[in-house]
Protein backbone atom coordinates (compact mmCIF):
# COMPACT_ATOMS: atom_id res chain seq x y z
CA UNK A 1 0.00 0.00 0.00
CA UNK A 2 1.20 3.49 -0.82
CA UNK A 3 1.86 5.75 2.14
CA UNK A 4 -0.05 9.03 1.55
CA UNK A 5 2.38 10.92 3.79
CA UNK A 6 5.30 9.84 1.57
CA UNK A 7 3.45 11.06 -1.54
CA UNK A 8 2.77 14.44 0.09
CA UNK A 9 6.43 14.71 1.09
CA UNK A 10 7.58 13.85 -2.44
CA UNK A 11 5.20 16.43 -3.94
CA UNK A 12 6.49 19.04 -1.53
CA UNK A 13 10.10 18.27 -2.52
CA UNK A 14 9.17 18.42 -6.20
CA UNK A 15 7.53 21.83 -5.71
CA UNK A 16 10.62 23.13 -3.90
CA UNK A 17 12.85 21.86 -6.73
CA UNK A 18 10.62 23.53 -9.31
CA UNK A 19 10.70 26.85 -7.43
CA UNK A 20 14.49 26.65 -7.15
CA UNK A 21 14.78 25.89 -10.88
CA UNK A 22 12.60 28.87 -11.77
CA UNK A 23 14.75 31.12 -9.56
CA UNK A 24 17.94 29.84 -11.19
CA UNK A 25 16.51 30.33 -14.69
CA UNK A 26 15.55 33.92 -13.90
CA UNK A 27 19.09 34.57 -12.61
CA UNK A 28 20.81 32.92 -15.60
CA UNK A 29 21.79 35.54 -18.18
CA UNK A 30 23.11 34.81 -21.67
CA UNK A 31 24.09 36.97 -24.63
CA UNK A 32 23.67 36.30 -28.32
CA UNK A 33 25.01 38.34 -31.19
CA UNK A 34 25.19 38.54 -34.97
CA UNK A 35 26.97 40.58 -37.56
CA UNK A 36 30.26 40.48 -35.70
CA UNK A 37 28.64 42.11 -32.69
CA UNK A 38 26.56 44.59 -34.67
CA UNK A 39 23.51 43.40 -32.71
CA UNK A 40 23.75 41.88 -29.24
CA UNK A 41 20.83 40.74 -27.12
CA UNK A 42 20.70 39.71 -23.48
CA UNK A 43 18.21 37.07 -22.37
CA UNK A 44 17.58 35.17 -19.16
CA UNK A 45 17.15 31.43 -18.73
CA UNK A 46 13.40 31.84 -18.98
CA UNK A 47 14.00 33.10 -22.53
CA UNK A 48 12.84 36.60 -21.60
CA UNK A 49 14.55 39.30 -23.65
CA UNK A 50 16.27 41.71 -21.27
CA UNK A 51 18.25 44.04 -23.53
CA UNK A 52 19.07 44.79 -27.16
CA UNK A 53 22.25 46.63 -28.10
CA UNK A 54 22.68 47.83 -31.68
CA UNK A 55 26.09 49.09 -32.74
CA UNK A 56 25.89 52.48 -34.47
CA UNK A 57 27.59 50.98 -37.53
CA UNK A 58 24.58 48.68 -37.97
CA UNK A 59 22.29 51.67 -38.44
CA UNK A 60 24.68 53.65 -40.66
CA UNK A 61 22.83 52.35 -43.71
CA UNK A 62 19.78 54.35 -42.61
CA UNK A 63 21.40 57.65 -43.58
CA UNK A 64 21.26 56.88 -47.31
CA UNK A 65 18.32 57.14 -49.69
CA UNK A 66 17.49 53.44 -49.37
CA UNK A 67 17.79 52.25 -45.75
CA UNK A 68 18.41 48.53 -45.35
CA UNK A 69 15.77 47.80 -42.72
CA UNK A 70 15.60 44.12 -43.69
CA UNK A 71 19.29 43.66 -42.88
CA UNK A 72 18.85 45.16 -39.41
CA UNK A 73 15.75 43.04 -38.81
CA UNK A 74 17.66 39.90 -39.83
CA UNK A 75 20.51 40.80 -37.47
CA UNK A 76 18.08 41.24 -34.58
CA UNK A 77 16.34 37.93 -35.30
CA UNK A 78 19.70 36.17 -35.54
CA UNK A 79 20.92 37.62 -32.25
CA UNK A 80 17.68 36.66 -30.46
CA UNK A 81 17.90 33.12 -31.85
CA UNK A 82 21.56 32.86 -30.80
CA UNK A 83 20.70 33.94 -27.26
CA UNK A 84 17.75 31.53 -27.24
CA UNK A 85 20.03 28.61 -28.12
CA UNK A 86 22.41 29.62 -25.35
CA UNK A 87 19.50 29.89 -22.90
CA UNK A 88 18.38 26.39 -23.91
CA UNK A 89 21.88 25.07 -23.23
CA UNK A 90 21.88 26.76 -19.82
CA UNK A 91 18.47 25.26 -19.04
CA UNK A 92 19.65 21.78 -20.02
CA UNK A 93 22.74 22.15 -17.87
CA UNK A 94 20.70 23.34 -14.88
CA UNK A 95 18.15 20.54 -15.20
CA UNK A 96 20.83 17.88 -15.53
CA UNK A 97 22.62 19.34 -12.50
CA UNK A 98 19.41 19.40 -10.48
CA UNK A 99 18.74 15.76 -11.33
CA UNK A 100 22.12 14.83 -9.92
CA UNK A 101 23.37 13.12 -13.05
CA UNK A 102 20.32 10.91 -13.51
CA UNK A 103 20.10 9.78 -17.10
CA UNK A 104 16.43 10.38 -17.82
CA UNK A 105 15.34 10.57 -21.42
CA UNK A 106 13.14 13.68 -21.11
CA UNK A 107 11.85 14.97 -24.46
CA UNK A 108 13.14 18.42 -25.31
CA UNK A 109 16.15 18.21 -23.04
CA UNK A 110 18.45 16.59 -25.58
Asked, for residue 1, whether it belongs to a domain, the answer is no
Position 14 scores a pLDDT of 86
Position 59 scores a pLDDT of 80
CATH number at residue 54: 3.30.1310.10
Asked, for residue 40, whether it belongs to a domain, the answer is yes
Asked, for residue 38, whether it belongs to a domain, the answer is yes
Asked, for residue 36, whether it belongs to a domain, the answer is yes
Evaluate whether 79 touches 32 at the Cβ level (below 8 Å): yes
What does the alpha-carbon distance between residue 105 and residue 18 come to, in Å, rounded to a whole number? 18
Evaluate whether 32 touches 41 at the Cβ level (below 8 Å): yes
Asked, for residue 44, whether it belongs to a domain, the answer is yes
Q: Name the residue range of residue 53's domain.
A: 25-98
Would the pTM count as exceeding 0.85?
A: no
**Residues 39-91: pLDDT tens digits?**
999 999 888 999 999 998 878 766 777 778 888 899 999 999 999 999 999 88
Asked, for residue 17, whether it belongs to a domain, the answer is no
Q: How many domains does the chain have?
A: 1
Amino acid sequence: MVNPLKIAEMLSQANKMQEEMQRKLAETVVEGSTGGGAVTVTMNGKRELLKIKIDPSAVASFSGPSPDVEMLEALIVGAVNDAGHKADEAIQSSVKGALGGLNLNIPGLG
